[in-house]
Structure 1
Amino acid sequence: MIASIFTKSRPFNYILVSSLLVLCFLIYHFSFFGTSENDTFSLSEGIQKLVILFFLIASLFITNFITKRNGLSKDNSFSALFFVSFLLFIPSVFDDFKIVLSAFFNLLAMRRLISMKSLLTPKEKIFDASLWIFIAALFHFWSILFIFIVFVSIVFHVSGDYRNWVLPLIAFFTVGILFLFFSLIINEEWISSVGSQMSINFKFYPYEKSANNLALVLYALFSISFLISMIFTLSRRPIMMLASYKKVIFAFLISVLVYIISPDKSNALLLFGLMPVSILATGFIEINKDSVLKEIVIGTILATGILLFIFQL
């Protein structure tokens, strides 16, 4: 039933998943009303929440754009469905302004890097992607690790030109100089804020809510299953798409590393892996011909996301 609806890319499907995202976003925030400290919020807080919602919806459509525009899926809307379904695993992200912005800028970088397979204007794409990644690092420092995918893309496509290897360094100094300039003019605390994020912490502590721990475990199980499936079915994918799929795999692995080494661990950090996991899940659905299995997998992930969302309120 669900698989048959999202097999085609229809405007109705995107309205459906967007509405689900907006509905859950509103439920999450209004569920805190009634407590003494959360009866109301200020105008600035309200604007910030709307900005978070805007960037989450934008991330949804950019993920879908990356998937369809670069041939990572057929003419369907599974990636959008999986993005929202897995987003419901981590409702805490609805309140994390910096993580949402950082993940969004990394998505813009991935859009440029995956499109490099066309070999059109590779230098512009390398510089743009590097620029977005370093901007993302201003909001969550360890997202800077995604710069590794820039060099992977250079190796895959344009390693012969030495100038391509210098472009990320130019982007780094561009963002660094502009950040220091505006920090010194507007607010010097921005510098210390970024500096405080540079520490590494490998320690894991259970979350207070058991539902949060369950969400992390189930997200890991689903994503690892889809990752293994993609690795073992790469030989069945179109040859011209192999580099793009490998970048998606690298993006997922880096998102795991970002979670592992970040000092302040929360499930919101899983947002960095939502785009690659959505593509990996879509690949799993498309490569399997068993319609019953498709319905079970899609229905299970969607139902699990909704239940985990409710339990974490």
Structure 2
Amino acid sequence: MITSFFNKSKPIYFVVVFFIVLLAFVNARLYTVNDALNGSYILKQTLLICVVYACILLLNFITNKNQLTNRNSYEVLLFSLFLLFITQTTNSSNILFSNFFVLLGLRRIVSMRSPRNIKKKLFDAAFWIAIAALFYFWSILFFPIILLSLVLYTDNNIRHWLIPFLGVLTVLVISCSASIVLFDNYFYLINWSPEISYDFSNYNSASYLIAITVLLSFGIWSSVFYLSNIKKQKKAFRVSFKTIILAAIIGFIVVIIAPEKNGSEFLFLFAPLAVIIANYIEIIPDKWFKELFLGVLIVLPFVLLLL
């Protein structure tokens, strides 16, 4: 019954997703709000929730446009549920904006399956990821996906390999120019500090441990079937599916090396993980197991809110 309800993409599902995201936002701020509830604070939080919802709409566009799922609403539902699993992912404004620009970059990378405007796609992908790195340095790790995609497409055009670096250079030049004009400092807007931390003590709580265990176990299990299912896809779409698994790996690496382990770093993992698990839900043959699988993902985050 649950899987049947979300089996097709309809506007009503985005209303459900909106309220799940809103619940995650409110819960994350119940015990962390130190500012007065004035107009400025409300405006800022409204902007941030709009950014999250824009990420969800962008994820839906990427999956539908590139046929990464069978035109259902599983991926947007899962993305919103992941936010509810780890509500701290909505706390960092820098990571929220960075994730949005990473998705813009992934949108252009995945669309490289079509050779049309390939130079523009390469430049745009690098440009958006470089902007994402201005907000959160380690999102620059998504840049190699552009080059790996060229490898997967066996593109030997040397100009295509240079374009992504021009995209990054463009962001650097614009940022330096804006810094000089606005702040009389070359690198004021380029806050690139490659710090790394392996201190996971912040995850030492029941809600974190349960959420991380469920997400990783469901993700790894789904990835096995996702990888085996790539061969069944149309040849033109196979690299797009491989790009998603690469993005999931990069997202996991960001979680591991993030200098500040406050939960917000998991956001980079949510979009590719949602696509991977959505693909697995689509191919589960047993109706009862499909209902159970999705039911656990729906019920558990609401249970964790009570912990």
TM-score (norm 1): 0.91
Name 2:19's counterpart in structure 1. Answer: 19
Work out whether 1:50 is the aligned partner of 2:49.
no
Given that 1:206 and 1:213 are in contact with CA atoms closer than 8 Å, whether structure 2 keeps it comes out as no
Give the letter for the 1:6 counterpart: F
Counterparts of 1:196 and 1:309, CA distance in 2: 35
Q: 2:238 aligns with which of 218, 236, 242?
A: 242
- Change over 3 Å in CA distance of 1:189–1:271 after alignment to 2: farther
Counterparts of 1:98 and 1:193, CA distance in 2: 13
- Change over 3 Å in CA distance of 1:39–1:156 after alignment to 2: closer
Name 2:279's counterpart in structure 1. Answer: 283
Given that 2:127 and 2:167 are in contact with CA atoms closer than 8 Å, whether structure 1 keeps it comes out as yes
- Change over 3 Å in CA distance of 1:193–1:180 after alignment to 2: closer
Query: Displacement of 1:47 after TM fit?
Result: 2.1
Q: 1:139-288 counterparts in 2 under 5 A? A: 139-157=135-153, 159-187=155-183, 191=187, 194-195=190-191, 197-207=193-203, 209-288=205-284
What secondary structure is seen at the aligned counterpart in 1 of 2:203? coil
Query: Displacement of 1:86 after TM fit?
Result: 1.2
Name 2:104's counterpart in structure 1. Answer: 108
Counterparts of 1:79 and 1:247, CA distance in 2: 16
Identity of aligned residues (%): 31
Counterparts of 1:95 and 1:187, CA distance in 2: 27
1:263-309 per-residue CA deviation (whole Å, 9 max, x = no partner) reads 11222111101111011011101122211111111110111222224
Counterparts of 1:239 and 1:287, CA distance in 2: 19
Given that 1:158 and 1:164 are in contact with CA atoms closer than 8 Å, whether structure 2 keeps it comes out as no
Give the letter for the 1:74 counterpart: N
Give the letter for the 2:249 counterpart: L
Counterparts of 1:210 and 1:186, CA distance in 2: 46
Segments of structure 1 that go 5 or more residues without pairing to the other structure are none
Name 2:119's counterpart in structure 1. Answer: 123
Counterparts of 1:198 and 1:172, CA distance in 2: 17
- Change over 3 Å in CA distance of 1:309–1:109 after alignment to 2: farther
Query: Displacement of 1:27 after TM fit?
Result: 4.3
Give the letter for the 1:25 counterpart: F
Query: Displacement of 1:202 after TM fit?
Result: 3.0
Query: Displacement of 1:203 after TM fit?
Result: 3.5
Given that 2:175 and 2:189 are in contact with CA atoms closer than 8 Å, whether structure 1 keeps it comes out as no
Given that 2:82 and 2:270 are in contact with CA atoms closer than 8 Å, whether structure 1 keeps it comes out as yes
TM-score (norm 2): 0.92
Work out whether 1:92 is the aligned partner of 2:88.
yes
Stretch moving more, 208-217 or 87-96: 208-217
* Count of residue pairs brought into register by the alignment: 307
Higher relative contact order, chain-length normalized (CA < 8 Å, sep 6+): 1
Given that 2:129 and 2:142 are in contact with CA atoms closer than 8 Å, whether structure 1 keeps it comes out as yes
1:243-280 per-residue CA deviation (whole Å, 9 max, x = no partner) reads 11100000000011111122112221111011110110
Given that 1:90 and 1:309 are in contact with CA atoms closer than 8 Å, whether structure 2 keeps it comes out as no
Segments of structure 2 that go 5 or more residues without pairing to the other structure are none
Stretch moving more, 65-74 or 188-197: 188-197
1:132-152 per-residue CA deviation (whole Å, 9 max, x = no partner) reads 000000111011010011111
1:106-162 per-residue CA deviation (whole Å, 9 max, x = no partner) reads 000111111111211111001001000000001110110100111112223361211
Work out whether 1:32 is the aligned partner of 2:31.
yes
Given that 2:83 and 2:90 are in contact with CA atoms closer than 8 Å, whether structure 1 keeps it comes out as no
What secondary structure is seen at the aligned counterpart in 2 of 1:236? coil
What secondary structure is seen at the aligned counterpart in 1 of 2:273? helix
Name 1:138's counterpart in structure 2. Answer: 134
Counterparts of 2:166 and 2:42, CA distance in 1: 37
Given that 2:81 and 2:297 are in contact with CA atoms closer than 8 Å, whether structure 1 keeps it comes out as yes
What secondary structure is seen at the aligned counterpart in 2 of 1:109? helix
Aligned-residue CA RMSD in angstroms? Answer: 2.1
Given that 1:105 and 1:136 are in contact with CA atoms closer than 8 Å, whether structure 2 keeps it comes out as yes
1:170-201 per-residue CA deviation (whole Å, 9 max, x = no partner) reads 11111111112222333478946854631222
